[in-house]
Amino acid sequence: MHRIWAYLPNLFSPGGLIPGHARLAHYGYEPASGIAITAFSRFAFGCVLAAFCTQFTLAAEARLDGRLADSCATLPAPAGVKFAETPAWVESQTLPTYCRVAGTIAGRTRFEMRLPQQWSGRFMMAGCGGFCGALIPDKPGHSNTINEALKRGYAAISHDGGHEAKSWETHWSSNPEALELWAHKILPVVAGTGTELATSLYGREPSFRYFSGCSNGGRLGLHAAQRYPELFDGIAAGGSIFELSGIAGLWGNWLIHNNQSGLDSRIPQSRVPLIQQVVMNTCDALDGQADGIITDPRACRVDFTTATCDAGAPAGDNCLSGPEAQLLNTLYGGVKNGKGEVIYPAVAFGSEHYVDRWLFGADGKPAWGVLASAGYRQMLAMDLSEKDVPAGLPTDQMLDWISRSAVPTLTDATDTDLSGLREAGNKLLIYQGWSDPLIIPEPITHYYDKAADAAGGLKQLQENARLFMVPGWGHCWEIPADAPDRFDPLLELEQWVEGGRAPEYMLARQMDAAGVETRSRPICSYPSVAQLEVGKDPDNYKNYSCINEDRTVR
Ligand SMILES: [Ca+2]
């Protein structure tokens, strides 16, 4: 088997200095001109200055294309890994040439890894969505996907979470090994295989190891930070269902118990535009800008009974029936226990965009969130050997199930002690849409606040873990919002990990149908929020400042 490092001494001679300019910029790399290739052999195996290593790797391995040619097909399978077919180079119109490696780990976890011919030296493990169960290496976009990373030179691996099923199904979790694998062990299992494959192909270990996931992938990201803090140099965790027992359990059950009537939602899909209008009329301008974006929904209160119909008038596009208004107040008002006390947050005001698809469903088809929450309830019921699993439980019964089941200890990533991450010097970038109807946004802010206390203060926590709450953004990238929601958390993370620059904000853009930018915003590092300078254009991110508000302000 050919090893890259074997060729290096012949290709590069020692000497020369490295240009020290910053090489990373928002949404693209600066040209790689002026690189002192001759210094490569001096630094190749002992890169100390992270930003330099990456550039050298990019430049050097561009020269090694030919040497890699026959190493893909002869790649050895790591212990416990069975290849589905012989690894082979794949040439594509839309992707860089890559070595495709597909197979199964320990007879259970299907994976596909794509290792580019021109490697940046970086490795990335992707998350998987819902309860996983499918191998989707060509899933487009940024949410639990690998191709965007591949385009930027990453060796990237996707997997199915360790079982085969639809993304809302949980019958497989009756197998304890499968449950623990999906819950968190998938992280060291897949990262270990991926790292070994990259090391075999390229002849050296990755310079930087990343994890990137959204939704359930975000939950895995938080587990990585808490349980395996040395596994990745950088972790991007978005739309995280980190508190599965609260978000799918308490909130999901609250939604189903109150709103579902069999397969149907008691709130008709046709009411969604009216609900959105009522919320926006009440809340949009509270942040000083009537722009269709609610900067912080915690500042907003809506009483839907103000939108009820006049006596005798039918509910429709312009008004709600009395029961509909009461039900909406119940759903948005928070999860209540039997005493009527609010014990958990609920869907946030401003989450109405596509809420029908995630929560209300249509035409006799339950929404995905309803199916997945039912799957979670089934997971608990199997663990507790409960025979009777009604569509929705009273909150007190759900609390009892959660407290008696061993599942939450395995699945919930709620440990606020991030000292392991701090000791390892690794970085965690959390991002969450304030308008995400599926993964309700408040719990992650509560987690982050508690993690700050555990770290000895916000400043200490922010050295290794940052949270970005994205106004107007919905659930990951699957259903984009009508707000600036195009950003690249992996790129932001790279700059932090490799360039040492902690992100004070992420730049988010919004495009029209033709792909032309219509507006941009800075997404400030929580608890800071973006504040527009007086009299300036609100559609340009440069006209905002990140203002640190008291995080206890509601
Ligand atoms: Ca607004």
Residues 457, 507, single domain; the answer is: yes
- Residue 541 inside a domain? The answer is no
How many angstroms does the Cα of residue 286 sit away from the middle of ligand 1? 7
CB atoms within 10 A of CB 488: 20
- Confidence grade of residue 362 (pLDDT, cut at 50, 70, 90): confident
CA of 448 to the centre of ligand 1 (A): 24
Same domain, 418 and 458: yes
Structure tokens at 408: 């939450």
529: CB partners within 8 A, 6+ apart? 295, 296, 546, 547, 549
Residue 530 lies in a domain: no
Average pLDDT over residues 403-425: 98
8 Å CB contact between 476 and 214: yes
Give the Å distance between the CA of 482 and the centre of ligand 1.
12
350 Cα–ligand 1 center, Å: 10
Q: pLDDT per residue over 325-357, tens digit each?
A: 999 999 999 999 999 999 999 999 999 988 888
- How far, in Å, from the CA of 469 to the mean position of ligand 1? 15
For ligand 1, the distance from its centroid to the CA atom of residue 483, given in whole angstroms, is: 11
Query: Which residue(s) pair with 428 in the sheet?
Result: 235, 465
Cα torsion angle, 546, 547, 550, 552, sign: negative
CB burial of residue 424 (10 Å; 0-12, 13-18, 19+): middle
Examine the domain organization and report whether 360 and 212 are in the same domain: no
Please tell me whether residues 334 and 466 are part of one structural domain: no
Residue 529 lies in a domain: no
Residues in a beta bridge with 524:
505
Q: What's the domain range around 184? A: 81-245+411-511
Cα 142 to ligand 1 centroid, rounded to whole Å: 26
Of residues 232 and 3, the one with the higher pLDDT is 232
Percent composition of the chain: helix, strand, coil (DSSP 3-state, to 5): 40, 20, 45
pLDDT-derived band at 411, boundaries 50, 70, 90: very high
Write out pLDDT tens, residues 311-329: 999 999 999 999 999 999 9
Whether residue 10 sits in one domain with residue 92 = no
Give the Cβ contact number of residue 339 at 10 Å.
8
Which residues are bridge partners to 249 per DSSP? none
292 Cα–ligand 1 center, Å: 6
Domain count for the chain, please give it: 3
Whether 520 is in a domain gets the answer no
Find the mean pLDDT for residues 71-97. Answer: 96
- Compute, in angstroms, the gap from residue 435 CA to the centroid of ligand 1: 12
Residue 507: inside a domain, yes or no?
yes
As to burial, measured by CB atoms within 10 angstroms (0-12 exposed, 13-18 middle, 19+ buried), residue 390 is exposed
What are 544's two structure tokens?
């905002």
Q: What is the mean pLDDT of residues 23-32?
A: 28
- Is residue 263 one of the residues assigned to a domain? yes
Q: Is the dihedral of CA 511, 517, 520, 523 positive or negative?
A: positive
User: Quick one: 359 and 452 in the same domain?
Assistant: no
CA of 296 to the centre of ligand 1 (A): 9
DSSP per-residue string spanning 159-215: E-TTS-S-TT--GGGGSHHHHHIIIIIHHHHHHHHHHHHHHHHHSS--SEEEEEEET
Q: What is the DSSP letter of 75?
A: P
Distance 491 CA to ligand 1 centre (A): 27
Are 435 and 473 within 8 A, CB to CB? yes
Where among 365, 397, 431 does a domain terminate? 365
The residue among 162 and 42 whose pLDDT is bigger is 162
Degrees to nearest 5, angle at CA 238 with 96 and 102: 40
Of the given ranges (62-66, 156-160, 210-214, 278-282), which has the lowest mean pLDDT?
A: 62-66
Nearest-5° Cα angle at 469, 207 to 525: 60
Question: What mean pLDDT comes out for the span 179-199?
Answer: 98
- In whole angstroms, what is the distance from residue 166 CA to residue 279 CA? 34
Ligand 1 center to 285 CA (angstroms) = 5
Q: Same domain, yes or no, for 338 and 447? A: no
Together in a domain, 222 and 254: no
Same domain for 177 and 286, yes or no, is: no
Q: How far is the CA of 507 from the centre of ligand 1 (A)?
A: 18
Predicted confidence at residue 66, as pLDDT, reads: 56
**DSSP H/E element including 427:** strand 427-433
Ligand 1: centre distance to CA 444 (Å):
22
Closest to 135 measured CA to CA, from 164, 92, 106: 164
Q: Is residue 401 part of a domain?
A: no
Average pLDDT, the chain: 87
Q: Please tell me the distance between residue 472's alpha carbon and the centre of ligand 1 in angstroms.
A: 9
> Do residues 223 and 163 both lie within one domain?
yes
CA of 45 to the centre of ligand 1 (A): 51
pLDDT in tens, 137-182: 999 988 999 999 999 999 999 999 999 999 999 999 999 999 999 9
The average pLDDT across 406-411 equals 98
Question: 278 with 300, same domain?
Answer: yes
C-alpha dist (Å) from residue 382 to 356, 379, 387: 29, 5, 8
Q: Does residue 373 form part of some domain? A: no
User: For residue 499, what are its two tokens?
Assistant: 């360039």
Expressed in angstroms and rounded, the spacing between residue 419 Cα and the centre of ligand 1 is 37
- Same domain membership, residue 231 and residue 286: no
Task: Give the CATH number for residue 130.
Answer: 3.40.50.1820
Give 539 Cα–ligand 1 centroid separation in angstroms. 12
List, for residues 466-500, the tens digit of each pLDDT value.
999 999 999 998 888 889 999 999 999 999 999 99
Strand 28-29, strand 24-25: pairing: antiparallel
Residues near ion ligand 1 (CB < 5 Å) are 284, 287, 289, 291, 293
The answer on pLDDT for 60 being more than 90 is no
Q: Indicate the pLDDT class of residue 431, thresholds 50, 70 and 90.
A: very high
What is the reported pLDDT for 65? Answer: 53
Q: What is the DSSP string of 306-352?
A: GGBPPTTPPPSSS-B-HHHHHHHHHHHT-EE-TTS-EEE--PPTT--
DSSP 515: S
